[in-house]
A and B are shown apart, each in its own frame.
Chain A
Amino acid sequence: MKAHYTRPLDLKQGRVDMNHGAGGRATAQLVAELFGRAFDNPWLAQGDDGAVLPAPTADEQLVMACDGHVVSPLFFPGGDIGSLAVHGTVNDLAVMGARPLYLSASFILEEGYPLADLKRIVDSMAAASRAAGVPVVTGDTKVVEQGKGDGVFITTTGVGARPAGRIASGARAAAGDVVLVSGSMGDHGMAILAVRESLAFDSAIQSDSAALHGLVDALYQALPADAVHVLRDPTRGGLATTLNEIARQSGLGMRIDEASIPVHPQVEAACELLGLDPLYLANEGKLIVICAASHADAALAALRDHPLGRQAARIGEVIADDHHFVQLRTPLGGMRMLDWLSGEPLPRIC
């Protein structure tokens, strides 16, 4: 049989058509020439229905996490849906204390979407996966009719291994604990908002989309594992909502000092113009750490030593409160609640 009997995929002018999702030759070609080449690894190269993976070591536990990505627009300053789909799931594993090991990726493509744009997304996703050291070992592609999707949706599932002793959980926050964040709040949410067509304004705001497992590892290197009580990445709903989730899980309250929360000046100014609060905007590369007060300085130093935590700050403390309120001391000197996000400040940010 002749090699290259079929014409190669037209990655310059071509578009996604229904055949690409039909499961026949066109699907096989798309997988081989686009996904296979970009993600290239031995598990994917097997071409089976699933990936056979080595078991983790005996004292580790498996952690599994899943994240669907529907961000609009697909490309934004600081990233795109491809890199976001890697970071989103890697971070879910990282804040569980796990070493992220493998990813799966499910693509839902809309008929008519340009293959050149799809290639940009897949290449970016592959680069993010290589940089994170977490290969995409299995995947799936479906195509929906024009008008029934929004270009590209990507769902990723990740498997990680959690070393013994890493038992961080929202329920483990304790009264007297210290609350830290790894950097400025609201960058991702505002980067997306700034490029949405209804609001487009010029700014240098970049999404903070990044894989956090290196930062988490640096933290665990510096602290006894059981001193890290809570790890979270404040994505949708922002810092405010994530702190309320932790308060509810732990049955405690918090007292946060607004002036100590890092916010990029451009994000702050854009929020001022649009009537938004940066504490409710999504982050895709930031960590909340809650630890025992006696380890707070070491934790802060470890975060600041890592490139993703240079602006880390101590922002408040956990207190006993049967109502699980998160209270905020304002820069003016008054107190108010920092409540759950209510409604939706921005559509489709991740």
Chain B
Amino acid sequence: MAAPTVPEVASGRAKRAVVPVEPYRRRSPNWRRALRRQLLPFLLVLPALVLVGGVLGYPIGQLVATSFQQLGLFQLIGHHVLWNGLANYRQLFSDGQFYSSLEQTAVFVLATVGLTMAIGTGVALLMGRVGKVLRTVISLTMLLVWAMPSSAASIVWTWLFQAQWGVVNYVLVSLGLHSFGSHDWFASQISAYGIVTAMIVWQAIPFIALSVYAALTLVPNELYEAAAVDGANARTIFRQVTFPIIRPVFFLLTVLSIIWDGNVFNQVWYLTGGRAQVLNVMPLGVWQYIEAFATQQYGMGAAIAIVTVLILLVVTGYYIRTMVRTGEVSA
């Protein structure tokens, strides 16, 4: 954790080494002190622990259990518990859809997270470069986009790309691309994915940009001045001065983006208007929902959810370790 604070050092090791105290007397206060030192942080974490453990612990445990059960509507209504061991997982790994969904998810996450982080960081840097007026314009734009809830955004995007009256087709036709008259953007897998990707990147940029910008404001100006005096160019300054300081926030944003986009469901569902299965626009999150709710195979749905979590864990594991570790070294 954080470097030991001054009072801790003063009352802890340093003092003990110099002042001789009787052994049995020394043990008790030290032990008590150690406990007391753990007590305050523990009390601070306690509410969070109770909430996560109490409210989410049970449902997650239930989800894990369900993945080892055959649970359809019949069992759900009759409160039958029918354990079937690894049958759901065996079925999952022998299903061609799993490999298709996995591939779709991987490509989708790579595209969305890469684009979001690159553009978002670019916007944050841009905000630092332009004057006060333009910075306000950018942040207002970011706020407007960010403030649009994703359900409303999905509805608006459907309207933008609507085949007959959508403004996108109108503009394309006006530009001379007559083949886009009444063009249905949700007719093919690639095209539908393109729009889902564009919308998710559009939605996510403000959060990334404003968070990275907030982190950038933490970089003391003296560091830039010193680097400029040393003759460093913009790229060197970014790599040597800026990035190390915003790295914790940057890593966290990357991991969160991977998790969110890896679990994408709502936007795909709204935008394709329930045609996700027909178009095979089925990242793991959508496939999970279809298996669980549309075909009422809750056991299978739970197994997909668990496998998704494990995959995300493997993918983000390296970053999470780095984050937890870097958190330890530097305050």
**A and B associate:** no
